[in-house]
Structure 1
Amino acid sequence: MRRLLDLRIVRWELKTLYIVVAWIVGFVVADLLRSIGTSAVVVEVANALTTFVPFALAVRIFRGSDEPVEPPRAWWRMTAWPALSRRLGILFAVLTVFGVLGLVLAAAGVDAYQAMGDGGATIFVSSALQFAVLAFLYLNSAVRMKHLGITKPRPLRLKPTMKL
């Protein structure tokens, strides 16, 4: 496990590949469990695990440009810079609202949401909880980095000298 946590991914292409593969693996595990007749609650617990384990590993091994590669990140730090943490926190907060809205619409009797049955309610609750936790972690990271004065370094722009 220690060797895995010492891995660092800096290039955005590899980060994207990691996220896509983790996402696909999560879908495959959930579909496999559904196909063998596992209950919706067990499927959602497995889905939460296949979401959070790769996610927790990613925030430990991903590094931003100009971020030190070698030292491990602080336990609370989710991204390299506060602006990205804030944006992702807001995104996950909005997704939380959509999950809660889906649950409310199902409870209110909207046909499209009620047709999902108890499995749909489980999915909405699970998704809303997962997104709420991620929103909290990212927003907490943004606030802490801002209070510590961590900012993204400005790129050095050198204007070429003109020669006639």
Structure 2
Amino acid sequence: MEDAFRNSFLNALKKAILLLNQEELQKKILTTMADGLGEKGIDVKALAGKIDQVAPYCVGSLVAEISMRAVMEDTVNADGALSKKVSDVFLNAIGDDAFDVLIENCNFERAKKQFGEEKVEQIAEELSTGDIYETEEFAQAVESLSKSLHSLTKKWKAQMGRGKLT
């Protein structure tokens, strides 16, 4: 049974990443990336020289994102879709800063050399999908975000009928 699921999952991942070959989606990707990369101040010359490194990283990130999303998201319940949309906006707001803090405080390159990339990935998966949820810091972060979202929804409700949320 597990082998059948593995094969089904792998085949579904292959189909998902082949969406990159569709002309309509290529246009959407180019437009979105041009806007986003411009906002991030990406140097075009630097990118042009690193495309062979950047492209597999991006596709790998896509695979990781959609795989975890499939596992974590409640695909039957509308609340799962709402959580995902809010999470996407949240990650856009804080993801880069949080990544910088993680990298500044943990030497991943040294760990990869010492333990191997596969072991580091295993540890990262275990910590990020399990152990972190049991910490006081996780509870504090959830409480902080909950307060922010409550404040935001109150502000939004107050502005209803007067246009967009600002």
| Shorter-normalised TM range | under 0.3
Name the TM-score, length of structure 1 as normaliser: 0.24
Higher RCO, 1 vs 2 (CA within 8 Å, ≥6 residues apart): 1
Name the TM-score, length of structure 2 as normaliser: 0.24
